[in-house]
Amino acid sequence: MQRLEAFKFQLQPNGAQERNLRRFAGACRFVYNEALALQKARCERGEKKLGYAGLCERLTQWRNSAQTPWLRDAPTHPLQQALQDLERAYKNFFAQRAGFPQFKKRGQRDSFRYPDPKQFKLDQANGRLFLPKLGWMRLRLSRAVLGAPRNATVSLRAGKWSVSIQTEREVEPVPQATGAIGIDVGIARFATFSDGRFLAPLNSFRGHEARLRSAQRALSRKVKFSHNWTKAKARVQRIYARIGNVRGDYLHKATSAISKNHAMVCIEDLQVKHLSKSAAGTAENPGRNVRAKAGLNKSILDQGWFEFRRQLQYKLQWAGGMLIAVPPRNTSQQCPVCDCVSAANRLTQARFCCVECLHEDNADVVGAKNILARGHRVVACGEAVSRCVSSAASSKQEPTEATEREATHA
Nearer to Zn ion, 16 or 357 (CB): 357
Using CB under 5 A as the criterion, what x/- string covers residues 337-366 for binding Zn ion?
xx-x-------------x-xx-x-------
Cα 257–409–229 angle (5° rounding)? 125
Nearer to Zn ion, 337 or 379 (CB): 337
Nearest distance from C-beta of residue 334 to Zn ion, angstroms: 9
Residue from 185, 251, 259 nearest 399 by CA:
251
- 186 within 8 A of 364, measured Cβ to Cβ: yes
DSSP β-bridge partners for residue 112: 154
Nearest distance from C-beta of residue 110 to Zn ion, angstroms: 57
Q: What gap in Å lies between CA 244 and CA 347, rounded to an integer?
A: 36
Nearest distance from C-beta of residue 156 to Zn ion, angstroms: 56
Amino acid at 306: F
Nearer to Zn ion, 85 or 184 (CB): 184
Kindly state whether residue 145 participates in binding Zn ion, applying the rule CB under 5 A.
no
- Residue 364 known to be catalytic: yes
Nearer to Zn ion, 167 or 333 (CB): 333
Cα 8 to Cα 77, 96, 129, 159, 283, distances in angstroms: 20, 30, 12, 16, 47
Which of 184, 302, 307, 406 does the annotation list as catalytic?
184
Nearer to Zn ion, 3 or 359 (CB): 359
- Per-residue DSSP letter, 50: P
- Residue 268 known to be catalytic: yes
Nearest distance from C-beta of residue 358 to Zn ion, angstroms: 7
Which of 34, 85, 302, 364 does the annotation list as catalytic?
364
Using CB under 5 A as the criterion, what x/- string covers residues 25-64 for binding Zn ion?
----------------------------------------
**How are the residues of the chain apportioned to helix, strand and coil, as percentages rounded to the nearest 5?**
50, 20, 30
Q: What gap in Å lies between CA 175 and CA 93, rounded to an integer?
A: 39
Helices within 203-340 (DSSP H only): 204-221, 227-261, 272-275, 290-303, 305-318
Interface positions, 318-337, toward Zn ion (CB under 5 A): 335, 337
Residues that bind Zn ion (CB under 5 A): 335, 337-338, 340, 354, 356-357, 359
Q: Which residues form the catalytic set?
A: 184, 268, 364
